Amino acid sequence: MSGFLPLMLDLNEKEIVIFGGGKVGERKASLFCDYAKVTVVSKDFTPGLNNFHESGKIKLIKVKDLHEKDISSFLKNAFIVIPAANDAKLNEKIAGIAKDREIFVNRVDDIGDIIIPSVIRRGDIVIGISTGGQSPALSKHIRQKTEEVITPEYAQMSRLQNEIREELKSLVNDQKRRKEILWNIINDNDVWKAFEESYEKAYMKASKHIM
C-alpha cells in the first residue's frame, strides 16, 4: 500500500470506460458521470444505466461478446478502465490489456492502480477516506462520523474565506496580517453561528475583523 498517494484529478474531458452493465457498473457510472466522459460496455444494462444514457450523462455500447481485439478498440482513448463484468476471467483479461497499454485500472474485485475513496463534499471542500480497499465498511463508518463534524456550514465558510481573501488583497498590504485576519474569522464562533441564519449575516460578522 506504500505506493498509493491521495490526489485530486481533473477528469474533465477524460474518458472512463466501464465493462459491465450491472449494479456495480451503474454505481461506478453514477460516481464518474458528473466529472468525466463515461462509456459503459456490456451485453445488457440496468434501468439506471439506461436512464443515465437517456439523460445524456453516459454512452452505452451494447455487445454480444468481448474478444481481445474488441476490448483494445474500446480502450483507445481511455484514461481509467473499470472491469466490472460478471465474469472474473473477463475482468482479468480487461485489466491485463489495460495494463499493457499503461491505462489506469480501478478494480472492483481486487486492488488496481486506483482506489476510489469514500467521499464527503461540502461545496468546494472534498474529503476522501480510504482503507486501501481493505474495509469498505470501515470507510463508510469513518465517512459518517466525519460528516457529523464537517457540517454544511464548512462550505459556506470556504466561500466566505475566498471572498474575504480577495477583498483583503486590495485593503491590506501585509500578507502576514491578511492571514491573521482570515484565521481570526475561522475561529470566530459568532461567524459560524451566523451561518445558521444567513450567509449575508455571517459575512457582516466576518467583515468586522477587517475594520
Please determine, for residue 1, whether its predicted confidence score (pLDDT) is greater than 70: no
1-116, which class in CATH?
alpha beta
What pLDDT was estimated at residue 123? 92
Report, as an integer, the average pLDDT of 28-44.
96
What pLDDT was estimated at residue 2? 64
In order of 124, 136, 145, 198, 209, the CA distances from 193 in angstroms are: 20, 34, 21, 9, 16
Report, as an integer, the average pLDDT of 38-59.
97
Q: Tens digit of pLDDT for each residue in 166-205?
A: 999 999 999 999 999 999 999 999 999 999 999 999 999 9
Please determine, for residue 66, whether its predicted confidence score (pLDDT) is greater than 90: no
- The three-class DSSP label of residue 132 is coil
Rg of the chain, C-alpha, whole Å: 22
Task: Give residue 35's pLDDT band: very low, low, confident or very high (50, 70, 90).
Answer: very high
Report, as an integer, the average pLDDT of 2-18.
90
Which position has the grid cell 455500447? 61
Q: Tens digit of pLDDT for each residue in 94-137?
A: 999 999 999 999 998 888 899 888 889 999 999 999 988 788 89
Long-range contacts (CB closer than 8 Å, 24 or more residues apart) made by 112-117: 114/80, 115/4, 116/31, 117/6
Report, as an integer, the average pLDDT of 73-79.
94
Report, as an integer, the average pLDDT of 145-168.
96
Please determine, for residue 75, whether its predicted confidence score (pLDDT) is greater than 60: yes
Please determine, for residue 33, whether its predicted confidence score (pLDDT) is greater than 80: yes
Domain residue spans of the chain: 1-116, 117-150, 153-207
Nearest alpha-carbon partner for 27 in 99, 134, 161, 119: 119
